[in-house]
Structure 1
Amino acid sequence: MLNFRPVVLMAVVSAVAGCSVPGPGGAPDGIHDPYEVKNRKVHDFNRNLDKKLFSGDGPGYAGTVPPFVQERVSSFADTVSLPQTVVNQLLQGRLVRATNNSLRFTLNATIGVGGMFDVAKEWGLDPDESDFGETLAVWGVPEGAYLEVPVLGPSTERDTAGDVVDLFTDPLKYVVPTPERYIGTVAKGLDTVGERSKFGGTVDSILHGSADSYLQFRLMYLQNRRYELGEDAPGADFDPLAVDTEGF
Protein backbone atom coordinates (compact mmCIF):
# COMPACT_ATOMS: atom_id res chain seq x y z
CA MET A 1 0.00 0.00 0.00
CA LEU A 2 1.27 3.47 -0.86
CA ASN A 3 2.55 5.37 2.17
CA PHE A 4 1.23 8.92 2.15
CA ARG A 5 3.08 10.04 5.28
CA PRO A 6 6.02 11.58 3.41
CA VAL A 7 3.70 13.54 1.14
CA VAL A 8 1.62 14.83 4.05
CA LEU A 9 4.72 15.69 6.04
CA MET A 10 6.18 17.61 3.11
CA ALA A 11 3.03 19.68 2.81
CA VAL A 12 2.85 20.41 6.54
CA VAL A 13 6.50 21.31 6.94
CA SER A 14 6.46 23.46 3.81
CA ALA A 15 3.48 25.38 5.14
CA VAL A 16 5.11 25.92 8.53
CA ALA A 17 8.40 26.99 7.00
CA GLY A 18 6.55 29.34 4.66
CA CYS A 19 5.18 31.25 7.66
CA SER A 20 8.70 32.19 8.69
CA VAL A 21 10.28 35.61 8.21
CA PRO A 22 11.22 36.88 4.75
CA GLY A 23 14.63 36.19 3.27
CA PRO A 24 17.96 37.42 4.65
CA GLY A 25 17.50 40.90 3.17
CA GLY A 26 14.78 41.67 5.73
CA ALA A 27 17.05 41.31 8.79
CA PRO A 28 19.84 43.59 10.09
CA ASP A 29 23.17 42.61 8.51
CA GLY A 30 21.29 39.80 6.74
CA ILE A 31 21.13 37.67 9.89
CA HIS A 32 17.82 36.93 11.62
CA ASP A 33 18.51 35.40 15.02
CA PRO A 34 15.56 36.00 17.38
CA TYR A 35 16.43 32.83 19.33
CA GLU A 36 20.01 33.82 20.13
CA VAL A 37 19.71 33.26 23.88
CA LYS A 38 18.44 29.69 23.41
CA ASN A 39 20.78 29.12 20.48
CA ARG A 40 23.79 30.03 22.60
CA LYS A 41 22.78 27.49 25.24
CA VAL A 42 22.53 24.79 22.57
CA HIS A 43 25.86 25.96 21.13
CA ASP A 44 27.53 25.56 24.53
CA PHE A 45 26.10 22.04 24.76
CA ASN A 46 27.38 21.20 21.26
CA ARG A 47 30.79 22.67 21.99
CA ASN A 48 31.16 20.67 25.21
CA LEU A 49 30.03 17.50 23.41
CA ASP A 50 32.53 18.12 20.62
CA LYS A 51 35.30 18.62 23.16
CA LYS A 52 34.52 15.31 24.84
CA LEU A 53 34.35 13.42 21.55
CA PHE A 54 37.18 14.97 19.55
CA SER A 55 39.60 16.75 21.89
CA GLY A 56 41.11 13.75 23.63
CA ASP A 57 44.80 12.87 23.70
CA GLY A 58 44.43 9.95 21.29
CA PRO A 59 44.92 10.10 17.51
CA GLY A 60 41.18 9.96 16.80
CA TYR A 61 39.44 8.63 13.71
CA ALA A 62 41.71 10.33 11.17
CA GLY A 63 44.86 9.09 12.90
CA THR A 64 43.62 5.57 13.61
CA VAL A 65 41.71 4.51 10.50
CA PRO A 66 43.90 4.11 7.37
CA PRO A 67 43.25 6.74 4.64
CA PHE A 68 42.27 4.00 2.18
CA VAL A 69 39.50 2.80 4.52
CA GLN A 70 38.34 6.37 5.16
CA GLU A 71 38.06 6.94 1.42
CA ARG A 72 36.00 3.77 0.98
CA VAL A 73 33.64 4.80 3.80
CA SER A 74 33.27 8.29 2.31
CA SER A 75 32.58 6.90 -1.17
CA PHE A 76 30.00 4.43 0.14
CA ALA A 77 28.28 7.13 2.21
CA ASP A 78 28.04 9.33 -0.89
CA THR A 79 26.65 6.50 -3.00
CA VAL A 80 23.87 5.53 -0.58
CA SER A 81 22.84 9.21 -0.31
CA LEU A 82 22.42 9.60 -4.09
CA PRO A 83 18.85 8.25 -4.41
CA GLN A 84 17.63 10.85 -1.91
CA THR A 85 19.55 13.55 -3.77
CA VAL A 86 17.86 12.48 -7.01
CA VAL A 87 14.43 12.73 -5.35
CA ASN A 88 15.15 16.28 -4.22
CA GLN A 89 16.52 17.35 -7.59
CA LEU A 90 13.42 15.98 -9.31
CA LEU A 91 11.27 18.00 -6.90
CA GLN A 92 13.40 21.04 -7.78
CA GLY A 93 12.84 20.49 -11.50
CA ARG A 94 16.57 20.00 -12.08
CA LEU A 95 16.31 17.07 -14.44
CA VAL A 96 19.88 17.21 -15.77
CA ARG A 97 21.38 17.08 -12.28
CA ALA A 98 18.97 14.30 -11.28
CA THR A 99 19.96 12.31 -14.37
CA ASN A 100 23.67 12.77 -13.66
CA ASN A 101 23.24 11.58 -10.08
CA SER A 102 21.20 8.61 -11.25
CA LEU A 103 24.12 7.67 -13.49
CA ARG A 104 26.55 8.25 -10.60
CA PHE A 105 24.57 5.87 -8.43
CA THR A 106 24.33 3.20 -11.13
CA LEU A 107 28.05 3.30 -11.94
CA ASN A 108 29.27 3.43 -8.35
CA ALA A 109 26.83 0.78 -7.11
CA THR A 110 27.89 -1.65 -9.85
CA ILE A 111 31.35 -0.99 -11.27
CA GLY A 112 32.31 0.79 -8.06
CA VAL A 113 31.85 -2.40 -6.02
CA GLY A 114 28.71 -1.42 -4.15
CA GLY A 115 29.74 2.20 -3.87
CA MET A 116 33.18 1.61 -2.37
CA PHE A 117 34.87 3.38 -5.28
CA ASP A 118 33.81 6.61 -6.98
CA VAL A 119 34.32 5.48 -10.56
CA ALA A 120 31.67 7.94 -11.77
CA LYS A 121 33.93 10.86 -10.90
CA GLU A 122 36.57 9.48 -13.25
CA TRP A 123 33.92 9.54 -15.98
CA GLY A 124 33.25 13.23 -15.41
CA LEU A 125 30.28 12.85 -13.05
CA ASP A 126 31.40 14.86 -10.04
CA PRO A 127 29.70 14.65 -6.62
CA ASP A 128 26.59 16.81 -6.45
CA GLU A 129 24.59 16.83 -3.22
CA SER A 130 21.15 18.20 -2.46
CA ASP A 131 18.58 18.06 0.32
CA PHE A 132 15.02 19.08 1.06
CA GLY A 133 16.21 22.35 2.58
CA GLU A 134 17.45 23.27 -0.90
CA THR A 135 14.17 22.04 -2.36
CA LEU A 136 12.27 24.40 -0.08
CA ALA A 137 14.56 27.26 -1.16
CA VAL A 138 13.87 26.48 -4.82
CA TRP A 139 10.14 26.50 -4.06
CA GLY A 140 10.51 30.02 -2.64
CA VAL A 141 10.26 29.20 1.07
CA PRO A 142 12.17 31.87 3.05
CA GLU A 143 15.19 30.99 5.13
CA GLY A 144 13.60 31.88 8.44
CA ALA A 145 15.47 32.35 11.67
CA TYR A 146 18.91 30.97 12.45
CA LEU A 147 18.87 27.88 14.67
CA GLU A 148 21.48 25.82 16.45
CA VAL A 149 20.28 22.24 16.68
CA PRO A 150 21.51 19.88 19.44
CA VAL A 151 24.27 17.57 18.13
CA LEU A 152 23.68 18.61 14.49
CA GLY A 153 24.86 22.19 14.93
CA PRO A 154 24.11 25.34 12.86
CA SER A 155 20.94 25.44 10.77
CA THR A 156 17.94 27.62 9.90
CA GLU A 157 14.20 27.11 10.26
CA ARG A 158 14.01 26.16 6.59
CA ASP A 159 16.92 23.72 6.72
CA THR A 160 15.68 22.17 9.96
CA ALA A 161 12.28 21.59 8.35
CA GLY A 162 14.12 20.08 5.39
CA ASP A 163 16.08 17.75 7.66
CA VAL A 164 12.82 16.43 9.11
CA VAL A 165 11.39 15.71 5.66
CA ASP A 166 14.65 14.09 4.55
CA LEU A 167 14.06 11.44 7.22
CA PHE A 168 11.23 10.13 5.03
CA THR A 169 12.43 10.73 1.46
CA ASP A 170 15.28 8.24 1.17
CA PRO A 171 14.06 5.59 -1.32
CA LEU A 172 16.58 3.04 -0.02
CA LYS A 173 14.78 2.94 3.34
CA TYR A 174 11.74 1.52 1.58
CA VAL A 175 13.50 -1.13 -0.49
CA VAL A 176 16.43 -2.28 1.66
CA PRO A 177 15.41 -4.62 4.50
CA THR A 178 16.34 -4.22 8.14
CA PRO A 179 19.05 -4.31 9.44
CA GLU A 180 20.93 -3.77 6.17
CA ARG A 181 19.30 -0.36 5.70
CA TYR A 182 21.19 0.96 8.72
CA ILE A 183 24.59 0.28 7.16
CA GLY A 184 24.26 3.44 5.08
CA THR A 185 23.33 5.47 8.16
CA VAL A 186 26.40 4.21 9.99
CA ALA A 187 28.60 5.00 6.98
CA LYS A 188 27.24 8.55 6.82
CA GLY A 189 27.94 8.99 10.51
CA LEU A 190 31.51 7.72 10.15
CA ASP A 191 32.04 9.99 7.16
CA THR A 192 30.92 12.97 9.24
CA VAL A 193 33.32 11.98 12.01
CA GLY A 194 36.06 11.64 9.40
CA GLU A 195 35.39 15.14 8.05
CA ARG A 196 35.48 16.56 11.57
CA SER A 197 38.79 14.84 12.25
CA LYS A 198 40.27 15.89 8.92
CA PHE A 199 39.70 19.57 9.65
CA GLY A 200 40.23 19.23 13.38
CA GLY A 201 42.82 21.99 13.73
CA THR A 202 40.70 24.61 11.99
CA VAL A 203 37.51 23.60 13.79
CA ASP A 204 39.24 23.55 17.18
CA SER A 205 40.71 27.02 16.65
CA ILE A 206 37.25 28.45 16.00
CA LEU A 207 35.02 26.32 18.21
CA HIS A 208 37.31 26.14 21.24
CA GLY A 209 39.72 29.02 20.75
CA SER A 210 37.83 32.03 19.40
CA ALA A 211 36.48 34.87 21.52
CA ASP A 212 32.91 34.16 20.39
CA SER A 213 32.61 30.83 18.61
CA TYR A 214 28.83 31.18 18.36
CA LEU A 215 29.06 34.27 16.16
CA GLN A 216 31.84 32.71 14.08
CA PHE A 217 29.94 29.50 13.38
CA ARG A 218 26.71 31.36 12.69
CA LEU A 219 28.37 33.55 10.10
CA MET A 220 30.32 30.71 8.51
CA TYR A 221 27.23 28.54 8.20
CA LEU A 222 25.04 31.26 6.70
CA GLN A 223 27.76 32.35 4.28
CA ASN A 224 28.40 28.81 3.07
CA ARG A 225 24.74 27.77 2.90
CA ARG A 226 23.61 30.87 1.03
CA TYR A 227 26.52 30.50 -1.38
CA GLU A 228 25.39 26.90 -2.07
CA LEU A 229 21.84 28.10 -2.73
CA GLY A 230 22.83 31.18 -4.72
CA GLU A 231 21.46 33.56 -2.08
CA ASP A 232 23.01 36.75 -0.70
CA ALA A 233 25.54 35.99 2.02
CA PRO A 234 26.05 38.20 5.10
CA GLY A 235 29.39 39.83 5.82
CA ALA A 236 30.82 39.14 2.37
CA ASP A 237 33.94 41.16 3.20
CA PHE A 238 34.55 39.26 6.46
CA ASP A 239 36.99 36.37 6.71
CA PRO A 240 35.49 33.90 9.23
CA LEU A 241 38.84 32.13 9.57
CA ALA A 242 40.58 35.33 10.72
CA VAL A 243 39.33 34.85 14.25
CA ASP A 244 40.43 36.18 17.59
CA THR A 245 41.76 33.13 19.39
CA GLU A 246 42.29 34.99 22.66
CA GLY A 247 39.68 34.44 25.31
CA PHE A 248 37.73 31.57 26.78
Structure 2
Amino acid sequence: ADALTTVPKIFFEPTLNNYIYAFSERGFTIYLLNSLLIALGTTALVVLLAFPAAYVFSRMRLRGDNHMFFVILTTRMGPGVLVAVPIFLMFSSAGLWDTHLVVILVHTAFNLAFAMWLIKGFIDDIPRDLDEAAWLDKLNPLETAFKIILPLCGPGIAITALFVFVMSWNEFLYALLLTGNKAKTLPVAIAGLVTPHGTLWGQIAAVAVLTSLPVLLTAYLLQRYIVRGLTFGAVKG
Protein backbone atom coordinates (compact mmCIF):
# COMPACT_ATOMS: atom_id res chain seq x y z
CA ALA A 1 0.00 0.00 0.00
CA ASP A 2 2.87 2.37 0.77
CA ALA A 3 4.09 2.02 -2.82
CA LEU A 4 0.72 3.20 -4.18
CA THR A 5 0.29 6.30 -2.01
CA THR A 6 0.29 9.75 -3.59
CA VAL A 7 3.36 10.71 -1.59
CA PRO A 8 5.80 7.76 -1.56
CA LYS A 9 7.05 6.77 1.88
CA ILE A 10 10.77 6.40 2.40
CA PHE A 11 10.33 4.67 5.74
CA PHE A 12 7.65 1.99 5.58
CA GLU A 13 6.23 -0.25 8.25
CA PRO A 14 7.24 -3.92 7.77
CA THR A 15 4.41 -6.43 8.02
CA LEU A 16 3.84 -10.15 7.54
CA ASN A 17 0.10 -9.83 7.03
CA ASN A 18 0.34 -10.47 3.28
CA TYR A 19 2.18 -13.75 3.85
CA ILE A 20 -0.33 -14.85 6.47
CA TYR A 21 -3.37 -13.91 4.40
CA ALA A 22 -2.08 -15.45 1.17
CA PHE A 23 -1.29 -18.82 2.72
CA SER A 24 -4.07 -19.06 5.30
CA GLU A 25 -7.04 -17.46 3.54
CA ARG A 26 -6.27 -18.04 -0.14
CA GLY A 27 -4.87 -21.56 0.11
CA PHE A 28 -1.49 -20.90 -1.46
CA THR A 29 -0.02 -23.72 0.62
CA ILE A 30 -1.82 -26.22 -1.64
CA TYR A 31 -0.55 -24.46 -4.76
CA LEU A 32 2.98 -24.53 -3.35
CA LEU A 33 2.74 -28.29 -2.78
CA ASN A 34 1.32 -28.75 -6.28
CA SER A 35 4.26 -26.87 -7.80
CA LEU A 36 6.76 -28.89 -5.77
CA LEU A 37 5.15 -32.20 -6.75
CA ILE A 38 5.02 -31.30 -10.44
CA ALA A 39 8.54 -29.83 -10.60
CA LEU A 40 10.14 -32.72 -8.69
CA GLY A 41 8.19 -35.32 -10.68
CA THR A 42 9.16 -33.68 -13.97
CA THR A 43 12.82 -33.44 -12.96
CA ALA A 44 13.01 -37.09 -11.91
CA LEU A 45 11.27 -38.36 -15.04
CA VAL A 46 13.32 -36.18 -17.41
CA VAL A 47 16.65 -37.23 -15.90
CA LEU A 48 15.60 -40.89 -15.86
CA LEU A 49 14.73 -40.80 -19.56
CA ALA A 50 17.37 -38.36 -20.79
CA PHE A 51 20.47 -40.05 -19.38
CA PRO A 52 20.12 -43.44 -21.19
CA ALA A 53 19.16 -41.67 -24.42
CA ALA A 54 22.10 -39.27 -24.15
CA TYR A 55 24.45 -42.20 -23.49
CA VAL A 56 23.25 -43.98 -26.62
CA PHE A 57 23.74 -40.89 -28.82
CA SER A 58 27.16 -40.24 -27.29
CA ARG A 59 28.62 -43.74 -27.38
CA MET A 60 26.74 -45.78 -29.98
CA ARG A 61 27.15 -45.38 -33.72
CA LEU A 62 23.71 -45.40 -35.31
CA ARG A 63 22.76 -44.76 -38.91
CA GLY A 64 21.77 -41.13 -39.21
CA ASP A 65 22.29 -40.48 -35.51
CA ASN A 66 23.31 -36.83 -36.06
CA HIS A 67 20.20 -36.14 -38.11
CA MET A 68 18.05 -38.01 -35.61
CA PHE A 69 19.44 -35.98 -32.71
CA PHE A 70 18.83 -32.75 -34.63
CA VAL A 71 15.22 -33.78 -35.27
CA ILE A 72 14.77 -34.40 -31.54
CA LEU A 73 16.19 -30.96 -30.74
CA THR A 74 13.78 -29.29 -33.16
CA THR A 75 10.96 -30.06 -30.71
CA ARG A 76 12.34 -27.17 -28.62
CA MET A 77 12.41 -24.72 -31.51
CA GLY A 78 8.70 -24.16 -31.93
CA PRO A 79 6.57 -22.12 -29.51
CA GLY A 80 4.67 -24.17 -26.97
CA VAL A 81 1.41 -22.41 -27.79
CA LEU A 82 1.56 -23.96 -31.27
CA VAL A 83 0.38 -27.34 -29.94
CA ALA A 84 -1.49 -26.11 -26.87
CA VAL A 85 -4.99 -26.74 -28.20
CA PRO A 86 -4.32 -30.30 -29.50
CA ILE A 87 -2.65 -31.21 -26.20
CA PHE A 88 -5.58 -29.79 -24.24
CA LEU A 89 -8.13 -31.71 -26.32
CA MET A 90 -6.13 -34.94 -26.17
CA PHE A 91 -5.71 -35.00 -22.40
CA SER A 92 -9.22 -33.71 -21.75
CA SER A 93 -10.70 -36.56 -23.77
CA ALA A 94 -8.48 -38.97 -21.82
CA GLY A 95 -9.91 -37.71 -18.53
CA LEU A 96 -6.56 -36.38 -17.28
CA TRP A 97 -7.43 -32.69 -17.13
CA ASP A 98 -6.68 -31.02 -13.78
CA THR A 99 -4.32 -33.76 -12.61
CA HIS A 100 -0.68 -33.54 -11.57
CA LEU A 101 0.20 -36.32 -14.00
CA VAL A 102 -0.85 -34.43 -17.12
CA VAL A 103 1.32 -31.41 -16.25
CA ILE A 104 4.28 -33.66 -15.43
CA LEU A 105 3.94 -35.46 -18.77
CA VAL A 106 3.73 -32.23 -20.77
CA HIS A 107 6.65 -30.64 -18.92
CA THR A 108 8.66 -33.81 -19.48
CA ALA A 109 7.91 -33.80 -23.20
CA PHE A 110 9.07 -30.20 -23.59
CA ASN A 111 12.21 -30.52 -21.44
CA LEU A 112 13.44 -33.95 -22.54
CA ALA A 113 15.26 -32.82 -25.71
CA PHE A 114 17.10 -30.05 -23.86
CA ALA A 115 18.12 -32.45 -21.09
CA MET A 116 19.38 -35.02 -23.60
CA TRP A 117 21.48 -32.40 -25.38
CA LEU A 118 22.93 -31.11 -22.11
CA ILE A 119 23.78 -34.53 -20.66
CA LYS A 120 25.22 -35.74 -23.97
CA GLY A 121 27.72 -32.89 -23.85
CA PHE A 122 28.95 -34.04 -20.45
CA ILE A 123 29.17 -37.69 -21.51
CA ASP A 124 31.16 -36.72 -24.61
CA ASP A 125 33.87 -35.31 -22.32
CA ILE A 126 34.28 -38.64 -20.51
CA PRO A 127 37.02 -40.78 -22.17
CA ARG A 128 35.76 -43.79 -24.10
CA ASP A 129 38.59 -45.83 -22.57
CA LEU A 130 36.46 -46.20 -19.45
CA ASP A 131 33.68 -47.83 -21.47
CA GLU A 132 36.11 -50.20 -23.16
CA ALA A 133 37.66 -51.13 -19.82
CA ALA A 134 34.20 -51.86 -18.43
CA TRP A 135 33.39 -54.04 -21.44
CA LEU A 136 36.60 -55.99 -20.85
CA ASP A 137 35.30 -56.60 -17.33
CA LYS A 138 32.21 -58.11 -19.00
CA LEU A 139 29.82 -55.28 -18.18
CA ASN A 140 27.09 -54.79 -20.75
CA PRO A 141 26.35 -51.27 -22.11
CA LEU A 142 23.48 -50.72 -19.65
CA GLU A 143 25.65 -51.63 -16.66
CA THR A 144 28.47 -49.48 -18.03
CA ALA A 145 26.15 -46.50 -18.36
CA PHE A 146 24.73 -46.68 -14.85
CA LYS A 147 27.71 -48.06 -12.90
CA ILE A 148 30.60 -46.25 -14.58
CA ILE A 149 29.41 -43.23 -16.56
CA LEU A 150 26.54 -42.05 -14.35
CA PRO A 151 28.69 -41.40 -11.22
CA LEU A 152 31.24 -39.51 -13.34
CA CYS A 153 28.44 -37.50 -14.94
CA GLY A 154 27.06 -36.39 -11.55
CA PRO A 155 27.81 -32.67 -12.01
CA GLY A 156 26.15 -32.69 -15.42
CA ILE A 157 23.11 -34.48 -14.02
CA ALA A 158 22.90 -31.91 -11.21
CA ILE A 159 22.98 -28.96 -13.62
CA THR A 160 20.42 -30.61 -15.89
CA ALA A 161 18.14 -31.35 -12.94
CA LEU A 162 18.38 -27.74 -11.77
CA PHE A 163 17.52 -26.33 -15.21
CA VAL A 164 14.58 -28.71 -15.63
CA PHE A 165 13.32 -27.97 -12.10
CA VAL A 166 13.40 -24.22 -12.72
CA MET A 167 11.69 -24.51 -16.11
CA SER A 168 8.94 -26.72 -14.70
CA TRP A 169 8.56 -24.57 -11.58
CA ASN A 170 8.11 -21.35 -13.59
CA GLU A 171 6.05 -22.75 -16.50
CA PHE A 172 2.75 -20.92 -16.90
CA LEU A 173 0.99 -21.70 -20.18
CA TYR A 174 0.30 -25.41 -19.80
CA ALA A 175 -0.15 -25.16 -16.04
CA LEU A 176 -2.94 -22.67 -16.77
CA LEU A 177 -4.43 -24.63 -19.65
CA LEU A 178 -4.37 -28.11 -18.12
CA THR A 179 -5.33 -27.45 -14.49
CA GLY A 180 -8.29 -26.19 -12.51
CA ASN A 181 -8.29 -25.77 -8.73
CA LYS A 182 -7.04 -29.26 -7.86
CA ALA A 183 -3.61 -29.17 -9.55
CA LYS A 184 -3.14 -25.40 -9.89
CA THR A 185 0.48 -24.26 -9.55
CA LEU A 186 1.94 -21.12 -7.98
CA PRO A 187 2.51 -19.14 -11.22
CA VAL A 188 -1.14 -19.64 -12.16
CA ALA A 189 -2.32 -18.80 -8.65
CA ILE A 190 -0.26 -15.60 -8.61
CA ALA A 191 -1.94 -14.49 -11.83
CA GLY A 192 -5.26 -14.90 -10.01
CA LEU A 193 -4.29 -12.08 -7.65
CA VAL A 194 -4.94 -9.63 -10.48
CA THR A 195 -8.70 -9.22 -10.01
CA PRO A 196 -11.35 -7.02 -11.68
CA HIS A 197 -11.51 -5.05 -8.43
CA GLY A 198 -7.80 -4.34 -8.32
CA THR A 199 -4.36 -5.87 -8.10
CA LEU A 200 -3.31 -7.30 -4.74
CA TRP A 201 0.27 -6.09 -4.90
CA GLY A 202 1.14 -6.97 -1.32
CA GLN A 203 0.10 -10.60 -1.70
CA ILE A 204 1.75 -10.83 -5.12
CA ALA A 205 5.03 -9.64 -3.62
CA ALA A 206 4.74 -12.02 -0.66
CA VAL A 207 3.99 -15.07 -2.80
CA ALA A 208 6.67 -14.12 -5.34
CA VAL A 209 9.28 -14.08 -2.59
CA LEU A 210 8.25 -17.52 -1.35
CA THR A 211 8.07 -18.81 -4.93
CA SER A 212 11.75 -18.04 -5.42
CA LEU A 213 12.86 -19.83 -2.24
CA PRO A 214 12.69 -23.47 -3.50
CA VAL A 215 14.77 -22.56 -6.57
CA LEU A 216 17.36 -20.78 -4.43
CA LEU A 217 17.42 -23.68 -1.97
CA THR A 218 17.89 -26.22 -4.76
CA ALA A 219 20.70 -24.17 -6.28
CA TYR A 220 22.36 -23.87 -2.85
CA LEU A 221 22.20 -27.60 -2.19
CA LEU A 222 23.61 -28.39 -5.63
CA GLN A 223 26.17 -25.58 -5.77
CA ARG A 224 29.14 -27.93 -5.37
CA TYR A 225 28.00 -29.99 -8.35
CA ILE A 226 27.06 -26.89 -10.34
CA VAL A 227 30.58 -25.45 -10.06
CA ARG A 228 32.09 -28.79 -11.05
CA GLY A 229 29.63 -29.10 -13.91
CA LEU A 230 30.38 -25.65 -15.30
CA THR A 231 34.10 -26.47 -15.40
CA PHE A 232 33.61 -30.09 -16.50
CA GLY A 233 35.92 -30.90 -19.40
CA ALA A 234 37.54 -27.46 -19.32
CA VAL A 235 40.94 -28.92 -18.42
CA LYS A 236 42.25 -31.91 -20.33
CA GLY A 237 45.02 -33.96 -18.75
Larger Rg: 2
For CA contacts below 8 A with separation 6 or more, give which structure has more relative contact order. 2
TM over 0.5: no
